Chains A and B, each alone.
Chain A
Amino acid sequence: MRAAVIGGIGSWLPPGLVSNDDLADRMDTSDAWIRTRTGIRTRYFVPPGMPTSRLAAEAGARALESAGTADADAVVLATTTPDRPCPASAPEVARRLGLTGVPAFDVSAVCTGFLYALTAAAGMIASGAAEQVLVIGAEAFSTIVDPHDRSSAVVFGDGAGAVVLRAGDPGEPGALGRIVLGSDGSLADLITVRAGGSERPHPEADPGRSDPADRYFSMRGREVFQHAVTRMSQSAREALAHTGWRPGDVDRLVGHQANLRILHAVAEQLDIPVERLVVHLDRVGNTAAASIPLALAHAHATGDLVPGARVVLAAFGGGATWGATALTWPSLKAA
């Protein structure tokens, strides 16, 4: 059977670096509060008018370069913040990359989006529909966060990460193991943008029924914390069971970069030493669907992730959705 193998990786951050002190200047918060509650020190915000497709294309171009190619048979984009509600942003990403004509579509699973997108791409490869797929997680999350909501505004950041998946052998480094996925629609209110969809039109279009704040992202942090830890550790255990690895065999745990305390709690649940966590959120915050490929690209570039390392990816996000997979890290060119 054909496997989907990671053949290239790349990432991109927009130019607007924002420190905790910068945020403390404009709202009631502090560097110490943000660091102890989240582990985040800096994040990047897109300048006004920079769409998600731009971030995605920058990361995608670097992943293609790392894979030593300019071609892909399809583009799959995981995002919570598409350029527009309609159409999807992936066709525009493909156009920006000179790939006009290939199948291109968005995947919406919030912070689990990248794992869902990998699943879609791996399926295209397994079925023979594609030899090589560009999979991108990209977010301009600052565009949906209320800039004065101090619980969300300090957590989220913008950015993009991408991998090239190619057809290969299940035994080779970089081959994705079984991707374990799940969802629970009864938890939709935990992580949500309430208005702007078919259920509740945009507040300006529907005065009197929608609260203007409904256009912004909202999150019930404490409940998310517990569900995230429970689901990420459960799905990581399932993904490990498919590979036959025990938690002690894992060299690097790359969890969705939501909150440092969530990552530590997941490591504790799995009996994996916290030193084996890949931590990137201190630099970029929570970048939702972009967080796992951004963390992978950074760990790869800095040598924190070396060829042969046994890696587990795990995520939890809005939906609720969750997932995990395991792979042996391949030898890749840095983009």
Chain B
Amino acid sequence: MSTFTPPTFDMLAKILEEKFGVLRDDIKPDTLLEDIELDSLALIEVALTLQKQLGVSIPTEDLNSGGTVADLHELVNTAAGKAR
């Protein structure tokens, strides 16, 4: 049986807060990534951090900085799910 747990929204929010200095109150599902000044490399950095925490490989081809925090959450969850 797999012990895989999908990255929760809080897990993602914690990374954005601790690694990128985004204020917790600014991290809502509909927050635009560009509004919290996450550039395209930051998305890769988030994925790499989650990759280490979850112990799975997360392909990042589909990540882009045009969406919202919820979009990022979904993409990472899907990618992590496929990588199981």
Interface of A with B (CB < 8 Å)?
A: 37, 221-223, 225-226, 229-230, 261, 265, 268-269
Q: Which residues of A contact B49 (CB under 8 A)?
A: 268
Closest A residue, CB atoms, query B37:
A36
B48–A229 CB distance below 8 A = yes
Closest B residue, CB atoms, query A270:
B52
Q: A37-B39, A222-B60, A226-B60 are in contact. Are A268 and B52 (CB under 8 A)?
A: yes
Q: How far is the CA of A249 from the CA of B32 in the complex (A)?
A: 41
The distance from the CB of B36 to the nearest CB of chain A, in whole angstroms, is 14
14 chain-A/chain-B pairs, Cβ below 8 angstroms: A37-B39, A221-B41, A222-B41, A222-B60, A225-B44, A226-B60, A229-B44, A261-B41, A261-B45, A265-B45, A265-B48, A268-B49, A269-B48, A269-B52
Q: Does B40 touch A at the CB level, under 8 Å?
A: yes
B40, B44, B52, B61 pick with most chain A CB within 10 angstroms: B44
Q: Does B27 touch A at the CB level, under 8 Å?
A: no
How many B residues have CB within 8 A of the partner chain? 12
Q: How far is the CA of A37 from the CA of B57 in the complex (A)?
A: 24
Scan residues 35-65 of chain B and give those whose CB is less than 8 A from a CB of chain A.
39-41, 44-45, 47-49, 52, 57, 60-61
Closest 6 CB pairs of A and B: A225-B44, A226-B44, A265-B48, A229-B48, A226-B60, A222-B40
A222–B52 CB distance below 8 A = no
Q: Which residues of B contact A223 (CB under 8 A)?
A: 61
Scan residues 13-49 of chain B and give those whose CB is less than 8 A from a CB of chain A.
39-41, 44-45, 47-49
Q: Which residues of A contact B57 (CB under 8 A)?
A: 230
Closest A residue, CB atoms, query B42:
A261
Q: Which residues of B contact A269 (CB under 8 A)?
A: 48, 52
The distance from the CB of B48 to the nearest CB of chain A, in whole angstroms, is 5
The distance from the CB of B65 to the nearest CB of chain A, in whole angstroms, is 10
Q: Which residues of B contact A37 (CB under 8 A)?
A: 39, 41
Q: Which residues of B contact A221 (CB under 8 A)?
A: 41
Q: Which residues of B contact A222 (CB under 8 A)?
A: 40-41, 44, 60
A226–B52 CB distance below 8 A = no
Q: How far is the CA of A37 from the CA of B52 in the complex (A)?
A: 22
Q: How far is the CA of A76 from the CA of B47 in the complex (A)?
A: 38
B39, B47, B48, B49 pick with most chain A CB within 10 angstroms: B48
Q: How far is the CA of A326 from the CA of B47 in the complex (A)?
A: 28
Closest B residue, CB atoms, query A224:
B44
B47–A226 CB distance below 8 A = yes
The distance from the CB of B84 to the nearest CB of chain A, in whole angstroms, is 18
Q: Which residues of A contact B52 (CB under 8 A)?
A: 268-269
Q: How far is the CA of A225 from the CA of B42 in the complex (A)?
A: 10
Q: Which residues of B contact A229 (CB under 8 A)?
A: 44, 48
Q: How far is the CA of A258 from the CA of B74 in the complex (A)?
A: 30
The distance from the CB of A271 to the nearest CB of chain B, in whole angstroms, is 9
Q: How far is the CA of A229 from the CA of B39 in the complex (A)?
A: 17
Q: How far is the CA of A170 from the CA of B61 in the complex (A)?
A: 43
The distance from the CB of A260 to the nearest CB of chain B, in whole angstroms, is 11
Q: How far is the CA of A265 from the CA of B52 in the complex (A)?
A: 11
Q: Which residues of A contact B47 (CB under 8 A)?
A: 226
